[in-house]
Amino acid sequence: MALPVELRPFFLGNAMHRRRILVIAPDTDGVDLPKMTIEIGAIQRYHEATVLRGTVRDQDIAAVVVENEFEVLWFITHGSSAGVLLSDGMLSTTALIQYVRADDTRLCVLNTCDSEEVAIQLASQSGADVICSIGDVDNRDAIRLGQLLAGELAYCETYREAYELVASDGG
């Protein structure tokens, strides 16, 4: 059984891993996903995060990726087998692969619905680890997963270890 995140540093002496994360959380159809600020806040609390929020387009991501290096790309949006939704339309799987490769990203988090097909292509063609949703996900469940994953990534050595601590059964 894992100790709560806030107790780990005191009892286990785990070093905190402040990972460089690009969070992409676009308004889609002019509306945020409910309570996405909770997930973004958790990522910012534990990591060195750059957040693209509000109107986010493909060219906005490109500008940030060219100027910075990120260990993790983290999407908080809607998704489908075609890609992830930005403010001005769908960002294709091909584009996601380009961003991961260009920045030598080691982990891509797709906190979206139905992103398994995209994740498989992304992992196989980029070499990055990918955490995704394999079906439709209730927004509360997605926010909880994001919050817990942000904390566990800070205290776990590997992405897999962090994921296994927070994944639901059959996740």
User: Is it the case that residue 62 has pLDDT exceeding 90?
Assistant: yes
Tens digits of residue pLDDT in 17-47: 899 999 999 988 755 566 888 889 999 999 9
Q: How confident is the model at residue 140 (pLDDT cuts 50, 70, 90)?
A: confident
User: Is it the case that residue 10 has pLDDT exceeding 50?
Assistant: no
Q: What is the mean pLDDT of residues 118-134?
A: 91
Nearest to 146 by CA among 28, 17, 24, 43: 43
Q: What percent of the chain has pLDDT over 70?
A: 84
